[in-house]
Amino acid sequence: METVSEGEPSEEFDSRRWWTLAVFAFVALEGATLQMHGAIIPVLRDSFGTPQWQLGLVAPAGTLGFLFFVAAAGAVAGRFDTRKLLLVGIFGTGIGVALLGSVPSFGVFLAALVFRGAFAGIARGNDRPLLSHLYPSRRGRLFGYYDMMWAVGATLGPLVVTAALWLDEWRLAYYALAVSFIPVVALIWYLPAPDVDGGDDPLTLDGVRRIVRSPAVLVMATGIFCATAVEGGLFTWLTTFAEGRLPESFVTVSLSVLLVAYIPGRFAAGSLSERLGYVRLAFALGLLCTLSAVYTFVLASGLSILVGVFGIGLGLSGLYPTLLAYATESTPEHSAPVNALALVVSSCGIAGAPAVMGFVIDGVGVLAAMRLLFAPLVGLLVVVAVAWLRIGTAARPGS
């Protein structure tokens, strides 16, 4: 439990605590929304008679608006009020979720996804940088907890869809989630502007040069691309791999096991980041993920596959926040652009890997496609090992 540090007014501590609660609540709702899409796709097919190839547009539609506005949020950081940007972004995201439940056709559903993604990009482009400035000495820990809250929401999202289907109305899932945004918006509306020391400097051309030339940022971008490529492949094709290898009742459970592992994995990563250092921790997590993947896709059979999947989730879950905290430490005055770069790179990894694997599955089979994930995992280990040996375990020289 966090306590008031010496010299820190209790009012400032309370404000920081409430802002942290608001950010965590929003990212949990965001995780729930994103993971609901996979569970809702079969219902959309039945409700609107949507062909399979059009259902494949759900992920790109959700990413389209998100990528543009999260990149824009990083570019304008330091020039606009963070509180107002978060208020607009979270309120618009909630409206977008409500629209998803009221669409009359699949085409309008896709348009609502673009709308929701755009406002989510505004909010996600500012929420983690705010945490970075609220907790400058504990970025790794807070980034891990932030992503843990996303995992909590992601685990609950499909369950919300299941509950709505029990009531024979899939739209209730989106309506219930939209209502959940109201207290978050109300909290931010009444909170005073966050009190941070410094904050992001306005991004200039020289600032862009410093960011792209930072070795830590290059390590982060490469490592996050590799990690999220594995995530995208697993989120899309794990249940396909499980078919015929697990009892039918456990096929969809395999994805839930992966997501459940994210909760303790990200909590542990946040707690260990200060003890081990970002690079050592990233290498240990990557090694755990790689060994678990080899066990799952080469050695395991039957229900023991779920043990391997849980191990993959434990290792994979902490890589994103750890690598992002490592890069942010190198350029804390530009935390929002670094955060935006991480989100753009991760979106490319999540979207690109499943497409490549789809071609492999069509030509060779799902087992070969899952073993293809060894490539980005080995690439991740190589990049982090080079960072460890050549750059050091800290992002700033001498730190």
- For residues 226 and 192, state if they share a domain: no
Give the pLDDT confidence score for residue 3 in this predicted structure. Answer: 43
**With contact defined as beta carbons under 8 Å apart, do 110 and 57 qualify?**
yes
Residue 9 has pLDDT above 70, yes or no: no
Quick one: pLDDT at residue 313? Answer: 92
With respect to residue 51, please indicate whether it lies within any of the assigned structural domains: yes
Helix, coil or strand: residue 243: strand
Distance CA 243, CA 87 (A): 43
Q: What is the pLDDT of residue 396?
A: 43
Domain that holds residue 75: 7-200
pLDDT at 311: 94
Do 171 and 212 lie in one domain? The reply is: no
Domain count, the chain: 2
- What pLDDT sits at residue 72? 77
Q: Are residues 223 and 329 in the same domain?
A: yes
Length reported for the chain: 399
Q: Are 118 and 125 in contact (CB under 8 A)?
A: no
State whether 224 and 190 are in the same domain.
no
Same structural domain, 170 and 264: no
Of 175, 200, 225, the residue at which a domain comes to its end is 200
Buried/exposed 349-374: b ≥16 CB within 10 Å, e otherwise:
bbbebbeebbebbeeeebeebbbbbe
Which residues are registered as beta bridge partners of 246?
243
The residue-averaged pLDDT of 27-45 equals 83
Q: Taking 90 as the threshold, does the pLDDT of residue 211 lie above it?
A: no
Closest CA to 325 of 339, 311, 337: 339
Residue 256 lies in a domain: yes
Tens digit of each residue's pLDDT (9 = 90 or more) over 376-390: 999 999 999 988 887
Q: Are residues 184 and 211 in the same domain?
A: no
Question: For residues 319 and 270, what is the distance between their CA atoms, to the nearest angstrom?
Answer: 10
Listed residues 179, 200, 221: the one ending a domain: 200
Q: Residue 259: pLDDT above 90?
A: no
* The token pair that represents 208 in the structure block: 């862009």
At residue 80 the predicted structure's pLDDT band, cuts being 50, 70 and 90, is low
Per-residue pLDDT of 169-180, as tens digits, reads 889 999 999 999
Same-domain check for residues 162 and 292:
no
CA distance 251 to 219: 35
238 and 364 belong to one structural domain: yes
Most confident of 130-139, 160-169, 278-287: 278-287
At 31, which CATH number? 1.20.1250.20
Given pLDDT bands bounded at 50, 70 and 90, which one contains residue 397? very low
Query: Are 158 and 256 within 8 A, CB to CB?
Result: yes
**pLDDT tops 80 at residue 366:** yes
Final residue of a structural domain among 168, 200, 232: 200
